[in-house]
Amino acid sequence: MTNLSLEQKIGQLFILGFSGAMFRPDHPIVQDINKRNLGGVIIFDRFLAASRDTNNIVNAKQLSLLIASLQEQADEPLLVAVDQEGGQVNRFRKERGFPVTPAAMKLGKSSDLNLTIESAQQTARMLRNVGVNLNLAPVVDLNVYKENPIIGKYGRSFSADPAIVTAHSRAWIIEHRQQGILSCLKHFPGHGSSHTDSHLGFVDITKTWKDTELLPYQHLISENQADSIMLGHLFNRNFDDQYPATLSRATIQTLVRQRLQFEGVVISDDMQMKAITGHYGLEDACCKALAAGVDLLIIGNNLNYDPFILTKVRDAIFRGIDEGTITEAIIEEAWSRIQDLKKSIPLPTRHGKQ
């Protein structure tokens, strides 16, 4: 599409979760794609907001049809994202016919990269076969605090050694790219030293964070191995004494853009996590994140479900533009980066809108 309106460009700045393993034409996600030019969707196995054990993923055939049907609704190809790290962060369950891969911690303990390469190949092929094109992995957090309730406890980090984390992450990314799958380095600037969980509330890493936590980002960016970077909802007073990374212009511009020289897409962690909603409110936080320089906002719509959330956030962004807290230039810059990211993946075969 060319000559998009400002509203259509705003729609491209979001990855949105939705309910159900199939949909009818009046499903809210179809309306968001058709009427609001939604940029992407995120897939979940469970529907936490309704305490349901099944959501978007039932089996491979069903999911492939679901994603293909969503793509056919779109004027622009959708980013289809998932958190598929392996281990306990695993949306594709064995009991639903999907292959299982080890957690990063187990992979990082190996003396070579063979198991990581095999796991990444298996994961990327599985994602390609069902139509997912963006894996929100690998985790490049350093396993600094072993009892970390959301990283160390679940074995999500390859190692405390930045060289080991970099090597395994590089192997992961390369195998995904060979299957046409984008990756995402997370959780910037580093969640591995935290003593609390950003899903549950405010996380302050000021006293625990070390500069070495940036090394995997630095190396992978310099090697052109970073498709995208996810910001964690992490507060560090040394970077910004008011906002966590997701809402911090100082963090994004000084660290990500200037120090690390990253020019690609910066993605938010789920904006519905309590580290954000418990302090700022979702709509206001989305506006602050865009103003700070986040390109692509994830609203999982899974911790809490609101079928009209995209419309509400879009209206808040227009208010921000009217009030001068967000500029059209910021929207344009983010939209342009997202278009470049989408151009880097093979487009799905579609028989619907062109």
The verdict on whether 269 is a catalytic residue reads yes
**CA atoms within 13 Å, Cβ hemisphere of 160:** 10
Q: Which of 32, 227, 269, 295 is catalytic?
A: 269
Instruction: Please report, as a single letter, which amino acid is at residue 330.
Output: I
- Rounded to an integer, what distance in angstroms lies between the CA atom of residue 56 and that of residue 67? 10
Q: HEC states along 16-70?
A: EECCCCCCCCCCHHHHHHHHHCCCEEECCCCEHHHCECCCCCCCHHHHHHHHHHH
Pull the structure tokens for residue 321. 């533009």
Residue 89: is it exposed, middle or buried by C-beta count within 10 angstroms (0-12/13-18/19+)?
middle
**CA atoms within 13 Å, Cβ hemisphere of 190:** 28
Q: What is the DSSP string of 227-295?
A: SEEEEPS-B-TTT-SSS-GGG-HHIIIIIIIIIS---SEEEEPPTTSHHHHTTT-HHHHHHHHHHHT--
Q: Which of 27, 161, 197, 199 is catalytic?
A: 199
Q: Contact 185/138 with Cβ under 8 angstroms?
A: yes
Question: What are the two backbone dihedrals, phi and then psi, of residue 57, each rounded to the nearest 5 degrees?
Answer: -115, 115
- Rounded to an integer, what distance in angstroms lies between the CA atom of residue 80 and that of residue 201? 27
Pull the structure tokens for residue 127. 């994602």
CA dihedral 29, 30, 33, 35 (to 10 degrees): -110
CA end-to-end distance (rounded Å), the chain: 8
- Rounded to an integer, what distance in angstroms lies between the CA atom of residue 187 and that of residue 339? 23
Report helix, strand or coil for 198.
Answer: coil
Is beta strand 297-299 parallel, antiparallel or unpaired with respect to 134-135?
unpaired
* Residues that are catalytic: 199, 269
